[in-house]
Structure 1
Amino acid sequence: MHLTDVTLREGDQIPGREFTAEAKIECARALDDLGVPFVQPGFPATGEKDREVIGELAGTTDADVVALARALEGDIDAALESDADVIETFVSASDRHLEHLLGVSRGEMLSMLGEAVDYVHDHGVTAHVTLADAFRTDRDHLVEIVETVPDVAFVSLADTVGARTPETVEECLDGLASHVAVDRLGVHFHDDMGCATANALAAYRAGVGKADVSVGGLGERAGNTALEELAVACAVDHDDDLGLAADALVPTCRSVLDTLGEPYGDRKAVLGTAIAEHESGIHTAAMLSNPATLEPFDPGRFGGERRLVFGKPTGEGGARRLLERAGIDPDSKTVAAYLDALAAAGPLDLDAALALAKEEFGS
């Protein structure tokens, strides 16, 4: 499954946010270095900044630079002028959106889409398509739309309002599988019900060819599928790094968020500094024996870090293992004395706890 990163476009659309062109360019280059195959930095028709960003990146990255455009000639012209590698044009798919957003009939939408894709291709540029509100659209209508654009590499189905769960995503994709090539489909999920990453995993299992992702889940409202969560889950469950430099994942994602001025919590999945921190005596003792005992994955595999904390909560088992690691005989008297020393000096990280053992009890 290929990834399209939409951090820089979706994040910039959050009310009150306005990323600078320089920040967008720096982040796009970092995501390119990570190995993301498609980076969507912006929507050129919305202003000069996004045209500048895409123009600066075009032809300088291994990733294909994607410009978003409505199925309108003016939008596509703005994307063409920015020299994007890919123009991703979008239309509404559901009856609800056709009536209340576009104000056009289904037939008019199909004509708009077909003409837009032809216009992109006539200018020698690759076209991708996104169908807004696709997961609340009748299956036969989706098949009709996909068949309208047979020369488009990827047609992405968007869960525009975050209304779907893994079960309903699987039902939709299973229903389409006998009518269209699933590996030609992409997906775009929002996290309004907390299901964006789980939905993308369901789509991965169904065999879709592409998924939109965002660093830290950054995006409108509750955000989008988190790049780092999807990447780690696919690596752990399917041994698939999705073409990314796995050991650079956490540092790159943290750097992108820092560059954009976007905070992430200590307990943010994958990225948080506290997710691989252990202090409980029972936990630290087990972690000293075998870290996999209490971790879903080795954080170092993705460029993260583990932190064991020792102090008053440290139990006899943990103290004994620390003493053994420091080359000190862990007799009961030494263990008791070391526990007192840890309680007085803690909290300490592993290196400091070992140093204390050697200082207090080493020969």
Structure 2
Amino acid sequence: MLLNDVTLREASQMPGRDYSIEQKVEAGEALDDLGVPYIQTGFAVTGERDREASRQLASSVSAETSSLARSIVDDVNAAIDAEADIVDIILPLSDSQLEHTLGKSREEAISMADEAVTHAETHGLTVHVSLMDAFRTEIGHLVDFFERFPVPEYINLADTVGARTPKTVQETLDALGESVDINQIGVHFHDDMGVGTANTLAAFEAGVTKADVSVASLGERAGNAALEEVVVAGEADHGYEFGIETNRLVPVCERVLDTLGESVQPRKPVLGEETTTHESGLHTVAMLHDPSVFEPFDPTRFGGERHLLFGGGTGRAGARILIERAGSEPTDERIDEVLSSLEREGPLTLDQATDLAERD
């Protein structure tokens, strides 16, 4: 599975965001350093800012750049002007989306897509097509679309409102795989029900070969499948690295967030500081022997850090280990002294707690 990072486009659609060209270019170059093969630079028709950021990234990154476009020739022309390698043409296909967002019949929508795809191809762009609300579209309509559009490199199935779970994603992909080439399928999941990453992994297990992700789930509403979560879970459970520099994952994601002026909650999976911080006495004692006892993954494997904290709840076993690490005999008296000091001065890092054990 190849990853298409949509942070620059999706994050721009969050309320109140107004990233500069410089911010978008710096964030895009950071993602390129990570080895992400596709970077969606923006929605070119929205303005010169997105187009100029796309032009600069197209000339400075190794990744293939893509620009989103509606099934409208003018949108495709904007992507051409933005010098994108790929135009990602979006099209509503479910009944409700056709009625309420496009106001056209399915045949009219497909005719629009045909015109836009043909125009993009004649101007030398690689074409991807993203079908809005695809996971709530009848399988027959999806199969028909694949059969009528064999040329796009990928046809992306978008769970536009995050309405599906791994079970229904798997069912849809299994049914679709009976009639179309699974290698032409890409996926785009939103996290409205908290399963964007799980849905992406379900698609990976089904054989899908491209998936949209964003750093820290940045994106409209609850955001998208998180780049860092997909990579860490894929490596931990499948031994699969998605072709990126996994040892730089956390620092690059942090760099992107800093560049865009965004932040994450302390308990955000993978990137949140508290997710790799341990203070419970039971946890820290075990982790001094073997960190994997209370870790799903080694954060240092992805460029992160673990933090063991020691304080009033450390317990006698933890104090004993600290004293031994300090090179002293862990007598009952020494353990009591260290515990008293930890309760008074904690929470302390491992190095600080070891220094304290040396002093007491």
Name the TM-score, length of structure 1 as normaliser. 0.97
Q: SS of the counterpart of 1:274?
A: helix
1:220, distance to aligned residue in structure 2 (A): 0.8
1:183 is matched by which residue type in structure 2?
Answer: N
Deviation at 1:218, TM superposition (A): 0.8
- What is aligned with 2:134? 134
Residue 208 of structure 2: SS of its match in structure 1?
Answer: coil
Aligned to 1:66: 66
More displaced stretch, 323-332 vs 214-223 = 323-332
Q: Comparing 101-110 with 60-69, which one deviates more in the overlay?
A: 101-110
The match for 2:206 is 206
Q: Residue 131 of structure 1 aligns to a residue in which SS?
A: strand
CA contact (8 A) 1:7 1:214 kept: yes
Residue 147 of structure 1, CA deviation? 1.5
The 8 Å contact of residues 190 and 223 in structure 1, kept in 2 or not, is answered as yes
Q: Give per-residue Cα distances to partners, 1:218-274, cap 9 Å, x unaligned.
A: 111111111111111101000111111111111111221121111211111100111
Matched ranges for 1:1-363 at <5 A: 1-360=1-360
Could you give the per-residue CA deviations for residues 50-78 of structure 1, whole angstroms, max 9, x where no partner exists? 00100111132111011111111100111
Alpha-carbon contact 1:110-1:148 (below 8 Å) kept: no
Question: Which deviates the most, 228-237 or 190-199?
Answer: 190-199
SS in 2 for 1:88: strand
Whole-angstrom distance in 2 between the partners of 1:185 and 1:300: 33
Range with bigger deviation, 336-345 or 176-185: 336-345
2:147 partner SS: helix
Q: SS state of the match for residue 348, structure 2?
A: coil
Query: Secondary structure of the equivalent of 2:128?
Result: strand
Task: Determine if contact 1:154/1:186 at 8 Å carries over to the other structure.
Answer: yes
Q: Is the contact between residue 228 and residue 270 of structure 1 (CA under 8 Å) also seen in structure 2? A: yes
The Cα shift of 1:176 comes to 0.4
Q: Distance in 2 between matches of 1:287 and 1:108?
A: 61
Structure 2: unaligned runs, 5 residues or longer: none
Post-superposition CA distance 1:179-221 (Å, at most 9, x none): 1111210111111111111111111111101111111101111
Q: Is the 8 Å Cα contact of residues 154 and 209 (structure 1) preserved in structure 2?
A: no
1:290-347 alpha-carbon deviations (Å, 9 max, x no partner): 1111111111111111111112111111111112222222232322222223223322
Determine the C-alpha separation between the residues in 1 that align with 2:314 and 2:60: 52
2:180 is aligned with what amino acid?
A: V
Q: Where do 4+ consecutive residues of structure 1 move more than 6 Å?
A: none
- State how far apart, in whole Å, the 2-side matches of 1:131 and 1:44 are: 19
Gaps of 5+ in 1: none
- Paired residue secondary structure (1:286): helix
> For residue 96 of structure 1, what is the amino acid of its counterpart?
S
* TM-score computed with the length of structure 2 as normaliser: 0.97
2: CA distance, partners of 1:332 / 1:113: 77
**Which residue identity is paired with 2:57?**
L
Task: State the AA in 1 paired with 2:127.
Answer: A
Q: Measure the CA separation in 2 of the matches of 1:105 and 1:261.
A: 42
For 1:355 and 1:337, the matched residues in 2 are separated by 13
Letter in 2 for 1:261: G
Q: Determine the C-alpha separation between the residues in 1 that align with 2:287 and 2:100.
A: 56
SS of the residue corresponding to residue 233 of structure 1 reads: helix
Aligned residue type for 1:60: S
CA distance in 1, matches of 2:196, 2:346: 40
Are the equivalent residues in 2 in contact too, given 1:322–1:353 (CA < 8 A)? yes
- Overall identity of the aligned pairs, in %: 53
Letter in 2 for 1:100: H
Q: Which amino acid aligns with 1:288?
A: L
1:262 match: secondary structure? coil
Give the SS at the match of 2:322.
helix
Q: Distance in 1 between matches of 2:72 and 2:134?
A: 19
Distance 2:338 2:226 in 1: 43
- How many angstroms apart in 2 are the aligned matches of 1:147 and 1:113? 14
Question: Would you say the 8 A contact 1:267–1:275 is kept in 2?
Answer: yes
